[in-house]
Chain A
Amino acid sequence: MPRKSPKTTAVEGAVYTLPEILDLKAATPLTEKLMSLRGQNIVLDASKVERLGTQCVQILIAAAATWKDDMAAFSIAEPSDSFTSGLQVLGLTPQAILEKEVAQ
């Protein structure tokens, strides 16, 4: 994945900073937020993430696949330690989220 700095807000894209706590309660708001950003290139800034729940991971995977389906760019920038290790526990990497094809 080419690195996209979250600072450079590309004309055609948006930067969304993921909230600190991505637990069960954050799942629905996260889905809604991502739905509202659909259709444009997006960079998710994961540098603030402190806690990462399984359901939000599912949503991120779904989002990545959706963006891919929409032929729009989707990337995760500056994953925090908690973010990466949260994925690690589930046997995933930030890469794996982005790259897997989703079979409908």
Chain B
Amino acid sequence: MDAMAEIRATFFEECAEQLADLEAGLLAIENGEADSDTVNAVFRAVHSIKGGAGAFSLDDLVHFAHVFETTLDEMRSGRLDSSEKVLKIMLRSADALADLVTVARDGGSADAERNAGLIDELKGLVALAKGEEPPAPKAAGASAPSDGPVYDDGMGDLDFTPVAVDLGDLMGIGGDNRFRIVFKPSPRMYAKANEANRVLRDVYTLGEAKVACNISEVPLLPAIDPEGAYLTFTIELSTAESEEKVREVFEFVEFDCDLTIEAVHDAPDGEIDADDPDIADILARIRATPDDEPLETPAKDEEEPKDAPEMREPEEPKATAAAPAARTPAPAPAAPAAAAKADAGGDGKGGAGGGAAQTIRVDLERVDRLIDLVGELVIHQVMLSQRAYQAGLARASDVAVGFDELEQLTREIQDSVMAIRAQPVKSVFQRLPRLVREVADISGKQVRLITEGEWTEVDKTVIERLADPLTHMIRNAIDHGLEKPADRLAAGKAEEGVVRVAAMHRSGRIVIEISDDGAGINRKRVKEIAIKKGLIPAEANLSDEEIDNLIFLPGFSTAEKISSLSGRGVGMDVVKRSIQALGGRVSIASKPGRGSTFTMSLPLTLAVLDGMIVSVGDQTVVVPLTAIIETLQPKASEVKSFGGDARLVQVRDTFMPLVDVARELGYSYELANATGGVAILVEAENGARSALLVDAIQGQRQVVIKSLEANYGRVPGIAAATILGDGRVALILDVDAVVATSRVEGNFFNSGMQHAAE
């Protein structure tokens, strides 16, 4: 049972990947970036899901995937144009397929009505591609009662013509690999509780397989060994997979059976010219069909098996009749042939890629444990060398050199381990198109999503926790940011709104920008609402930036009525808080009439940090190196006081605020003497520079981040904590927060925000 559950889990994991490929492929086609390989990839994705689902008897999923696959096949063969309308249906089908996979995995029920509608639409497309009158009631009538795959329709109640056309379609998909597999289990195999039918089921999932069973070795009953093995299976397999993949199926039984797998290059039987592999392929597929299909429409009574041979018989003439018909289109359009070649090429590439870049699936927990251990290793390595020096170890000694090497090694190990966890943000970005489609549908707006930098890598934890805030912000961008199509036209903009999501690395952090080309933040209204809700006093005089930031206040909502999308006032403050919890920040830039840009900035990893160790009062504090530009010792002449406690420091020809860190963190209430300490020039996310005044610099070191929230609680101005070489805990400074609090200290609005964040 466990093994089965595991296989099932793997299947769903693979499904997720296939669904991602499917969606990515369809979007590429929509954007006109597709080549024939893309269409094939899309087709293969659906096909694989169907195959796997079949093995687990997930009938709904199989059925839907089958219809979807048939339609994609039309597209693959170039008979169905990838027009906008077609792609819309395809994309919605991809969503439906994803839902079905989810239902199959987690239980629940799918939207049967929608799926049925989509199936009809897909079938309509197939009919259209075949040049039949589009979704004729006849076709609908034929498909409605039979729940089986569409091939049945052609066989059951229609004349043979559609089947012949089917063959023409199949022409385009040649280039598949074909194998003849002779599989003779030995008694040992059964003794090990391996079932031949399970192996065969796995073979079916690879592609179209026809199994012939040789029963001639079965003895009479008195002579039989009940647990013996007498059957030999000959499988004609036509698959997109490589021989290696096919062999994998037999991996577990390899030594307990006689097995030959050979690639077949000519037609299985000599009844048709063997020169054309496409035709042979078609034959293989046709033969496979009756074997495959009845699985879903099993015999109801004894009559059925009687029918089966009859049904088979017309199969052969059909094939022969179809072959000449199929031949005619073959040389004419070059496209399907090219597609077939590309398919083969793609497979080759896939195979080669599989050889070059092999991957394994590892339980995330194991990686995390490794990372934790390496973190401890780093701490101990630092401790060890510090102790050694304290004990009087000479810097030039061999042991010291050894320590240096050890340090480099530990660092390399740490980098490598972190790289295991780094993943492109693509996995999150992939979910966005669907989200945008759904939100656009609900809100009645037309939206185009542009994503950039999806290969930007970031730690897996960050990615996982990025999804929710990102989803929320995109919803917001569409629901609040973009105007209704009519308003857009009135404003002289294109009817279709654009939402752009871009990820990039910037100074050791990942920055994600979500921008829309909507109306921008209506500052007047935002302020009015904030006053009405008592969030700010009526006479408050706020800068534009401050008004924009009001939308991050808890309980703020600009939406006049609550929609299913947003407007319940639990929006941006939650976004802001979850980003802050990740050690990130979010900011807004908005231009009236031109749109808004939300910028999220997050650390690349939550595990290590290069920092400068400084003394502040009696405490040791770590300043992230990424924020630091330079350090200097201010001279008395360079420090200017103004407006009470505020101070500026002159650096070359510019002035910047001097932030007394000890005071900000509450280590001292006295203003520190500027000339007695060191000023660290830092740059905040928004590019503003300030100087942090600290007492002294101890050194520069990589520190392992230990979450303060998890172990203690959130402290404003502090990003996290670490353990130093001597075993003491040091706090890691949240530079932006410290700078921001100091600048607008006493501002009711900011202290309110601070309060909210706590």
Contact = CB atoms under 8 A, between A and B. Distances in A.
Contact of B298 (A31, A53, A63, A81): A81
B156 interface: no
Contacts of A84: 294, 298-299, 304-305
A91 B235 CA distance: 9
B543 interface: no
A104 B536 CA distance: 97
A15 interface: no
Q: How large is the interface on A (under 10, 10 to 19, 20 to 34, 35 or more residues)?
A: 35 or more
B345 interface: no
B130 interface: no
Nearest to A65: B220
Contacts of B306: 1, 95
B224 A62 contact: yes
A55 B294 contact: no
Classify the interface of chain A: helix, strand, loop or mixed.
Answer: helix
* Residue of A1, A69, A93, A97 most packed against chain B (CB within 10 A): A93
B221 A66 contact: yes
B317 interface: no
Interface string A13-51: 000000000011001101100110010000000000000
Interface stretch (B40-48, B189-197, B555-563): B189-197
B227 A24 contact: yes
A90 B308 CA distance: 16
A78 B230 contact: no
A89 interface: yes
Contacts of A57: 231
A90 B196 contact: yes
Interface string B190-230: 10010111001100100000111101101111111011111
B216 A54 contact: no
A58 B228 contact: yes
Interface in A51-104: 52-55, 57-59, 61-63, 65-66, 69, 77-79, 81, 84-86, 88-97, 100, 102-104
A4 B306 CA distance: 14
B299 A28 contact: no
Contacts of A89: 197, 200-201, 204, 211, 295
A7 interface: no
Contact of A24 (B185, B193, B204, B305): B193
User: B200, B213, B221, B298: which has the most chain A beta carbons within 10 Å?
Assistant: B221
Given A84-B298, A93-B308, A27 B227 contact: yes
B221 A53 contact: no
Given A66-B222, A95-B309, A55 B197 contact: no
B302 A90 contact: no
A96 B305 CA distance: 9
Contacts of B196: 54, 90
Contacts of B294: 84-85, 88
B626 to A, nearest CB: 59
B301 A53 contact: no
B447 to A, nearest CB: 46
B598 interface: no
Contacts of A58: 215, 218, 224, 228-231
B305 A93 contact: yes
A90 B403 CA distance: 65
A53 B197 contact: yes
Contacts of A34: 221
A3 B235 CA distance: 31
A78 B298 contact: no
Name the residue in B196, B210, B303 with the highest tally of chain A Cβ atoms < 10 Å from its Cβ.
B196
Contacts of A63: 221
A31 B228 CA distance: 12
B226 A54 contact: no
A59 B228 CA distance: 10
A55 B190 contact: yes
Contacts of A93: 305, 308
Interface string B460-503: 00000000000000000000000000000000000000000000
Interface in B217-275: 218-224, 226-231, 233, 235
A64 to B, nearest CB: 9
A78 B303 CA distance: 9
A88 B295 contact: yes
Contacts of B185: 54
Contacts of B120: none
Contacts of B298: 81, 84-85, 88
Interface of A: 1, 3, 23-24, 27-28, 30-31, 34-35, 38, 52-55, 57-59, 61-63, 65-66, 69, 77-79, 81, 84-86, 88-97, 100, 102-104
A-B residue pairs, 8 tightest by C-beta: A91-B211, A81-B298, A27-B226, A66-B221, A54-B196, A91-B213, A31-B226, A28-B226
18 contacts: A31-B226, A34-B221, A58-B228, A59-B224, A59-B226, A61-B215, A62-B224, A65-B220, A66-B221, A79-B305, A84-B294, A84-B299, A89-B200, A90-B233, A91-B235, A94-B302, A95-B309, A96-B215
Given A28-B226, A77-B302, A84-B298, 6 more contacts: A85-B294, A88-B291, A91-B200, A91-B233, A94-B302, A104-B219
